[in-house]
Structure formats: C-alpha cells, structure tokens
C-alpha cells in the first residue's frame, strides 16, 4: 500500500484503500460496547510511572495508534466498528451459541446449559476480535510493523493473522514454557509470516537482564511484554499491540456478549442466569460479560457473572487490588488492578494464556465493586471438565476454556442450581493445537 492510499484510508475509518466491498452479514455487530459508560463509579485511570499522575494521551503515542488511545480513555457507550474490520469479522462472526443438551443429560442437571463458542475463528480463539482492529487502526496511521507478547500463542497467532491480512509485519515474544510446550502455535505464526521468539530472550536489554536475574525461568507474560514494548519504543515505525488487559481490548471483545444477547433472545431465553468465563488478563471474560453486565446496570436484569482463574495464578482471588506495572521491567504505565506482583512467575501450567500476574483494570474494577465474582479452579479439575465436554459436545476446548467449563459444571451439579436455570459458558477457543496438554488426562 503506497503512502497516498494510506492517507486516503486514514481520512475516515473504512476508507477506500482498505474496504473489499464484500457482503457483511447483518448480524455482525456494527458497534463495540464500552462498559465505562455504565459503571456506577469510574475506573481508576492509568498512571505515569514517573509522576504518578494520570497518563496523558500523548504519553501513549510512541506505542499505540491514536484511535486506540482514544478508545482506551473513552466513556462513550457505543463505538463504531470500521467497515474493513467488519469485513474480516464476517469470516467467522457471529460465533455460534449452542445448547449443550448431551452435556446436560450426562450431568443430570436441572439447568439449561449454553456455550458461546469462539473457536470458529481462523486462529481458533477469541483473540482476533481485537487483533484485527488493532492492526487496522495502526495501518491507517501509517504503521507497518507491530510487536507483541503471547502466552499460549493464541494472541500471537491472531496478531500474525491480522497483520498478514493487512500487509503488515509482526514480531512476537512468546513465554518460554509455552514456546517449548506448544510448537504448533509458533508454527502457525510462521505460516502467517511473523517471527516468534522464546521469552526472555537475548535479543533485548530487558530480556538479557531477566535471564541474568532468573537464569532458569520458564518466562512469564510480564517478561514477554517488557521485550515487545522495548523493541517498539526504540523504533518510530513500530507500535506495540496488547492482547488483553487494556480497556481498548475489552471494548473490541464486546462483540461476543453483544451477539450473545441477541442469540439468547432468539433461543427464547429472557436472560442468562449465570455466565462463566475463564480469566487470565481479562479479554475473554470482559468480552462475554460486559455487554450483559451493562444491561444489568441499565435495565435491572439479574444475570450473575463468574470469572474463573487458575489456582496456580490467582490474581483476583489471592492478589491485591492496587496500582502495579503491567510488565516485569516497569516500562508500562501503572494500572489499578488485582495483582500478584510483577515479580510473580507462575508455574508452567498448560493454560498458558492465563499465566499473568495481574488482571484487566476494567475487570478488576468490576470485581472490586462486587459486579463480578472470581473463583479459582485447580488445573486437574479443569482438564477433567474439558475431557467431559469433548466427549459430550464433540469440541476439545482450549486449556484456558476448561476453567470456565469446570466452574459451570460444578455449579450445574450443585444443590443450589435452580430448575430451568440458564447457564452460559464462554468457550474462548479450541484445543486442537494444545492437545499435548491433555496427554495423560484421559
């Protein structure tokens, strides 16, 4: 794409240089939802680490596109989705909502169980919901290269996918344990034309310092973020993209819950009684929960929300709600979130996408206000639930998704479940590229 075309495309979202003119199904959302518009108390702002004052938009411009910064700080309820993004979304959106009848019968539950399945995306997870708009908004501002981190690899593969579609380059730092355990994710990134490095690496100053400080480390998302941010900060033609945690990512993921509201109505359900979602950095949980939580706040519906995290990395259930850095090297703004501390290095659990020391500020704020209930699930229990789900519904869920499934199944078989109660599970992705995690668990 030449400079003239980029300028035309940047004149307005969905400019002539990026639209393909393909038909977009009417059920693909036209706007994202922003929970900041409906919260009873505003979420605490990110802080400049040098001054401890609220961050200014200009402070974020070396790393992020201006349109994404505006979304990060926005309090508007509805934000328009550009046409080129909706064209890419139409490859898999709307994702299906399915009734888990076989699972219900096997459990003998009195509840009706549904699952919203994000594994139908080209990358097999919910992550392209944000990678596509992030690549798009950077491209229309003239950025042609993005860096990022990834845990299990879903986000890295999704950003690689988005960059390939928009003719951009992408460099990914993957948590070392996942890089070694999940070779197919990095191979997927390579197919899309991106580079992937095990983190911490010898390629960055922060990586070398972390390898010296933690010589036998299996890595962490906080370490990988430091490396990706460092590379982007040193190159004015490169920006950084984050797959979770920040507000603009939560906003992009809202397409999941917006679709869910319509699909539940089509299924004849007045509302979901309880929604279960896995939570590591918060993107999947926010995506399926926030639009329904917004309806609770505006209209008085009574859906309950449960964010399920791994017991091995329990930021919400055992962490502190305070300001902390999002990365180990202290290169990011300070965020008010539930955190285990930046020095916390989780064990090399197979649910690599949930191995983060903190939780999204927006999710954390909702938990702090009592609007979302966090619980922690042991890994063995989550895989038991994942195997049962596969044997009844036919889908091998991603290891991250098994946590939400485990929480939902425990509730569905409890004495407290109501007759005809509507349970919705967010199945954030499929586990076809993570089958090694299931080895020895069936």
* pLDDT tens digits for range 308-358: 999 999 999 999 999 999 887 777 899 999 999 988 877 777 776 787 889
Burial 155-180 (b: 16+ CB within 10 A, else e): bbbbbbbbbbbbebebbbbbbbbbbe
Please enumerate in sequence order all residues whose Cβ is within 8 A of that of 302, keeping only pairs 6 or more positions apart, or say none. Answer: 271, 273, 296
Proportion of the chain in helix, strand, coil states, percent, rounded to 5: 40, 20, 40
Rounded to whole angstroms, the Cα distance separating 287 from 308 reads 14
> Is residue 14 over pLDDT 70?
no
Mean pLDDT of the chain: 93
Residue 17: per-residue pLDDT = 59
* Strands annotated E in 292-401: 304-310, 320-325, 334-339, 373-377
Residue 170 near residue 148 (C-beta atoms within 8 A): yes
Task: Specify the 3-state DSSP secondary structure of 59.
Answer: helix
Whole-structure pTM over 0.85, yes or no? yes
Residue 193 near residue 165 (C-beta atoms within 8 A): no
| pLDDT tens digits, 356-391 | 889 999 999 999 999 999 999 999 999 999 999 999
> Is residue 6 over pLDDT 50?
no
Rounded to whole angstroms, the Cα distance separating 103 from 91 reads 28
Sequence spans of domains, the chain: 89-124+247-438
Higher pLDDT, 152 or 419: 419
Edge-first strand listing for the sheet containing 238-240: 195-199, 169-175, 145-150, 238-240
Residue 59: per-residue pLDDT = 93
CA-nearest of 414, 244, 323, 257 to 47 is 323
> Is residue 134 over pLDDT 80?
yes
φ/ψ region of 370 (left if φ > 0, alpha if ψ in -120 to 50, else beta) reads: left
| pLDDT tens digits, 44-61 | 999 999 899 999 999 999
Can you say whether the dihedral through the CA atoms of 248, 251, 255, 260 is positive or negative?
positive
Rounded to whole angstroms, the Cα distance separating 255 from 251 reads 8
Residue appearing with tokens 């900041």: 36
The least confident of 218-227, 265-274, 306-315, 408-417 is: 218-227
CA 192 to chain centroid, in Å, comes to 20
| pLDDT tens digits, 113-125 | 999 999 999 999 9
Residue 326: per-residue pLDDT = 85
> Is residue 170 over pLDDT 70?
yes
Residue 149: per-residue pLDDT = 94
CA distances, 369 to each of 244, 325, 364, 372 (Å):
21, 22, 9, 8
Task: Specify the 3-state DSSP secondary structure of 30.
Answer: coil
> Is residue 16 over pLDDT 50?
no
> Is residue 11 over pLDDT 60?
no
Residue 387: per-residue pLDDT = 98
> Is residue 441 over pLDDT 80?
yes
> Is residue 96 over pLDDT 50?
yes
Packed helices 154-165 and 183-191: angle between N→C axes, nearest 10 degrees: 10
User: Domain 89-124+247-438 - what CATH class?
Assistant: alpha beta
CA 424 to chain centroid, in Å, comes to 18
Helix segments in 46-167, DSSP class H: 57-60, 66-73, 83-89, 101-107, 128-140, 154-165
């Amino acid at each position: 794409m030449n400079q003239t075309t980029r300028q035309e495309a940047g004149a307005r979202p969905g400019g002539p240089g990026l639209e393909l003119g393909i038909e977009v199904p009417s059920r693909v959302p036209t706007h994202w939802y922003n929970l900041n518009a409906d919260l009873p108390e505003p979420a605490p702002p990110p802080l400049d680490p040098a001054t401890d004052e609220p961050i200014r938009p200009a402070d974020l411009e070396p790393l992020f596109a201006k349109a994404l910064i505006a979304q990060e700080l926005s309090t508007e309820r509805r934000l328009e989705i550009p046409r080129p993004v909706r064209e890419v979304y139409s490859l898999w959106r709307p994702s299906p909502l399915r009734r888990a009848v076989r699972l219900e019968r096997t459990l003998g539950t009195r509840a009706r169980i549904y699952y919203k399945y994000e594994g139908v995306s080209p990358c097999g997870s919910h992550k392209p919901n944000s990678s596509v708009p992030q690549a798009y908004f950077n491209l229309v501002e003239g950025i042609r290269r993005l860096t990022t981190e990834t845990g299990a690899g879903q986000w890295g593969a999704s950003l690689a996918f988005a960059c390939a579609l928009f003719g951009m380059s992408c460099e990914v730092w993957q948590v070392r344990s996942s890089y070694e355990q999940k070779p197919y994710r990095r191979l997927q990134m390579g197919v899309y034309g991106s580079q992937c490095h095990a983190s911490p690496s010898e390629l960055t100053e922060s990586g070398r310092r972390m390898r010296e400080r933690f010589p036998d480390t299996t890595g962490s998302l906080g370490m990988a973020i430091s490396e990706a941010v460092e590379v982007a900060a040193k190159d004015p033609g490169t920006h950084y993209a984050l797959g979770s945690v920040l507000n603009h990512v939560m906003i992009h993921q809202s397409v999941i819950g917006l679709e869910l509201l319509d699909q539940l109505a089509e299924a004849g359900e007045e509302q979901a009684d309880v929604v279960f979602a896995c939570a590591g950095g918060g993107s999947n949980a926010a995506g399926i929960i926030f639009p329904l939580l917004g309806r609770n706040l505006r209209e008085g519906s009574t859906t309950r929300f449960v964010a399920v995290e791994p017991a091995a990395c329990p930021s919400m259930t055992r962490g502190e709600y305070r300001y902390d850095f999002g990365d180990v090297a202290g290169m990011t703004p300070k965020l008010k979130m539930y955190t285990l501390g930046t020095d916390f290095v989780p064990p090399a659990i197979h649910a690599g996408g949930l191995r983060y020391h903190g939780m999204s500020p927006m999710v954390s704020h909702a938990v702090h206000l009592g609007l979302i209930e966090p619980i922690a699930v042991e890994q063995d229990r989550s895989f038991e639930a994942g195997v049962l789900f596969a044997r009844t519904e036919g889908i091998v869920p991603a290891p991250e998704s098994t946590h939400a499934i485990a929480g939902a199944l425990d509730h569905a078989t409890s004495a407290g479940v109501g007759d005809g109660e509507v349970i919705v599970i967010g199945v954030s992705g499929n586990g076809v590229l993570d089958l090694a995690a299931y080895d020895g668990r069936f």
